[in-house]
A and B are shown apart, each in its own frame.
Chain A
Amino acid sequence: MHLLETWIVRLNRALVAFALAAVFLIVFANVVGRYGFGSSFAWVEEVARHLMILGAFCGAGLALREGRLVAITTVPDLLPDTLATTLRWGIVIVMFAFMATMLWLGIRFVEFGWNKETMSTGISRGIPYLAIPIGCALFLIQLLFFAKRFVAQEFEAGLDPEIEKLEV
């Protein structure tokens, strides 16, 4: 179980890092192309946007793990521990219900967009819309694994190299 979780996190990280790297490369190549060779491509803008959206939705689960989904914690901080824990379980359930609904709506939205085209590349608009159900599904998986630690507020450090080590 633990091994499965480790691998899902690794794959998820690789996915979002790849999306960002790809977006970075094609946008930068387009600048170089325009100035170096006087040519640029219509698809760059659209493909970059859609890859970024995919990366953004798919990173939600990782953001959850690293405690980057900010919340206003005044109330749980004031509550006694047991109540705060109960409240956090409530939040887990609410987040799960919301993202499950978005997953379902996302699938319907992909179907809805399937017979339409994107403006530049002319691919089916359902393809970029896939980012929503894929992202929601990944988030739900991460939430299932992480729910207990979310309630205990045991967030992960992520892949942080230690900024703290900097010295003057």
Chain B
Amino acid sequence: KELKYAHFQAADLSSPKHAAALAFEACVEGKTSGSIDVQIFPASQLGGGSEIMEGLQLGTVQMAAIHDGPISAVYKPFSVLAMPYLFDDQAMAWSVMDGEFGDALADDMLAKTGIRNFGVADNGVRNFTNNVKPVAEPADMEGLKMRVMTAPVWITLVESLGASATPVPWPELPGALQQGVVDGQENGVTNIVNASLYQHQKYVSLDGHVFSWHAYLMSDMFYASLTGDEQAAVSQCVEISKTIHRGMTAAQDANATAILSDLGMEVVPVSPEQKAMFRAAAQPAVREYIVGEIGEDWPNRLDAAVEAYKAQ
């Protein structure tokens, strides 16, 4: 059986997604003695996020590691994960996503879309960068022209913090920063480094507003066509690649200060008090937007999961 596996990072061992995909290939082909032939298509070779989501439903692609934006466009409740300043750290984020909440979200998605979600790795936590001034609290965002992804929830986030939001598609972002079309942007360390965004951005604020989630998705049609042993092999191997993926980005996030200052950026630390100011400014507005889109249910469940973790 052919398993075409799509992802969007460079075919490079330092790309977390690619390293994880290669591990998945070796693992599955080993465990199934080659009854499943994994073919990896890196660097958006088979299409962008939205097309791959469609491809999973059409059965033209069997598996993919996809970021949250395109998932939300097909399965709306996923956009609840755009809630800013929610998780204190990776351990908390992973625990919530691996626990009851994540499972419930995956089950609902499978039922509604025919796409099976084996779980998520994070592509690191997103931080603001800009080329104008150090930003340590919301007041500093005033007057900055920030690039956001082309979805309204990101505009809400940036505008609630007092900056002006300019939607720019990802492929145009390096050019837009280089040419100064926008002053700043927000991304995880991986993207800041891999897409050379640091070249034209002087300041990075480690505010960690949102986790970039990359979900390991499989076409359920394909999953159903597998034998019991093959299904088990796939599940186990996704766990391994998830661990690799998380480990690599976690290492980058933990060393963000060192990595980014080595690249010549001025790293602006954000204290817990300052982060609380960001939260107070952004969370209510974004929450209101999300509730308007998907209702109260999922936001409440997410809050409950976070509270439960904190109570432990």
Output the least CB separation between B157 and chain A (Å).
12
Chain A hits for B166, CB < 8 A: 34, 40
Q: How many residues of B contact A (CB 8 A)?
A: 22
Give the contacting residue for B73; candidates A34, A39, A45, A116; CB below 8 A: A116
Task: List the A residue with the shortest CB-CB distance to B293.
Answer: A122
Roughly how many angstroms separate A120 CA and B73 CA in the complex, as a whole number? Answer: 9
Across the interface, do A46 and B73 meet the contact criterion of CB distance under 8 Å?
Answer: no
Q: Is the C-beta of A112 less than 8 angstroms from some C-beta in chain B?
A: yes
Task: List the A residue with the shortest CB-CB distance to B57.
Answer: A112
Q: Is the C-beta of B232 less than 8 angstroms from some C-beta in chain A?
A: no
Output the least CB separation between B304 and chain A (Å).
26
Output the least CB separation between A84 and chain B (Å).
39
Within 8 A of A (CB), among B109-140: none
Within 8 A of B (CB), among A116-131: 116-120, 122, 125
Residue interface bits B137-170, CB-to-A below 8 A is 1, else 0: 0000000010010111001000000001111010
Output the least CB separation between A16 and chain B (Å).
24
Across the interface, do A119 and B69 meet the contact criterion of CB distance under 8 Å?
Answer: yes
Across the interface, do A120 and B151 meet the contact criterion of CB distance under 8 Å?
Answer: yes
Q: Is the C-beta of B37 less than 8 angstroms from some C-beta in chain A?
A: no
Q: Is the C-beta of B108 less than 8 angstroms from some C-beta in chain A?
A: no
User: Once A and B bind, how many residue pairs between them come within 8 Å at the CB atom?
Assistant: 44
Across the interface, do A45 and B150 meet the contact criterion of CB distance under 8 Å?
Answer: yes
Give the contacting residue for B167; candidates A112, A113, A120, A122; CB below 8 A: A120
Give the contacting residue for A42; candidates B50, B151, B293; CB below 8 A: B151
Across the interface, do A118 and B73 meet the contact criterion of CB distance under 8 Å?
Answer: yes
Roughly how many angstroms separate A117 CA and B150 CA in the complex, as a whole number? Answer: 13
Q: Is the C-beta of A38 less than 8 angstroms from some C-beta in chain B?
A: yes
Task: List the B residue with the shortest CB-CB distance to A46.
Answer: B150
Chain A hits for B145, CB < 8 A: 38
> Which of B58, B169, B293 has its CB near the most chain A CB atoms (within 10 A)?
B169
Across the interface, do B73 and A119 meet the contact criterion of CB distance under 8 Å?
Answer: yes
Across the interface, do B151 and A119 meet the contact criterion of CB distance under 8 Å?
Answer: yes
Q: In the complex, which range does the number of interface residues on chain A fall in?
A: 10 to 19
Output the least CB separation between A47 and chain B (Å).
11
Output the least CB separation between B165 and chain A (Å).
8
Given A38-B145, A42-B152 in contact, is the A117-B167 Cβ separation under 8 Å?
no
Given A38-B145, A40-B167 in contact, is the A119-B155 Cβ separation under 8 Å?
no
Output the least CB separation between B177 and chain A (Å).
15
Task: List the B residue with the shortest CB-CB distance to A115.
Answer: B74
Output the least CB separation between B235 and chain A (Å).
27
Residue interface bits B68-99, CB-to-A below 8 A is 1, else 0: 01100110100000000000000000000000
Chain A hits for B50, CB < 8 A: 119, 125
Within 8 A of B (CB), among A10-69: 34, 38-42, 45-46
Q: Is the C-beta of B54 less than 8 angstroms from some C-beta in chain A?
A: yes
Output the least CB separation between B178 and chain A (Å).
17
Chain A hits for B165, CB < 8 A: 42
Output the least CB separation between A55 and chain B (Å).
20
Roughly how many angstroms separate A164 CA and B72 CA in the complex, as a whole number? Answer: 54
Chain A hits for B155, CB < 8 A: 42
Chain A hits for B152, CB < 8 A: 42, 120, 122
Output the least CB separation between B221 and chain A (Å).
14
Chain B hits for A41, CB < 8 A: 167
Chain B hits for A46, CB < 8 A: 150
Roughly how many angstroms separate A32 CA and B76 CA in the complex, as a whole number? Answer: 33
Output the least CB separation between A108 and chain B (Å).
11
Output the least CB separation between A33 and chain B (Å).
10
> Which of A118, A119, A125 has its CB near the most chain B CB atoms (within 10 A)?
A119
Across the interface, do B70 and A119 meet the contact criterion of CB distance under 8 Å?
Answer: yes
Chain B hits for A112, CB < 8 A: 54, 57-58
Q: Identify 12 residue pairs between A and B in the complex whose beta-carbon atoms are under 8 Å apart, listed by A's number.
A: A38-B164, A40-B166, A42-B150, A42-B151, A42-B152, A45-B169, A112-B57, A118-B73, A119-B69, A119-B73, A119-B151, A122-B152
A-B contact sample (11 more), CB < 8 A, given A112-B58, A118-B73: A38-B145, A40-B166, A42-B152, A42-B165, A42-B167, A116-B54, A117-B73, A119-B69, A120-B151, A120-B152, A122-B293
A-side interface residues toward B, CB under 8 Å? 34, 38-42, 45-46, 112-113, 116-120, 122, 125
A-B pairs, 6 with minimum CB distance: A42-B167, A120-B150, A117-B73, A116-B74, A40-B166, A119-B151
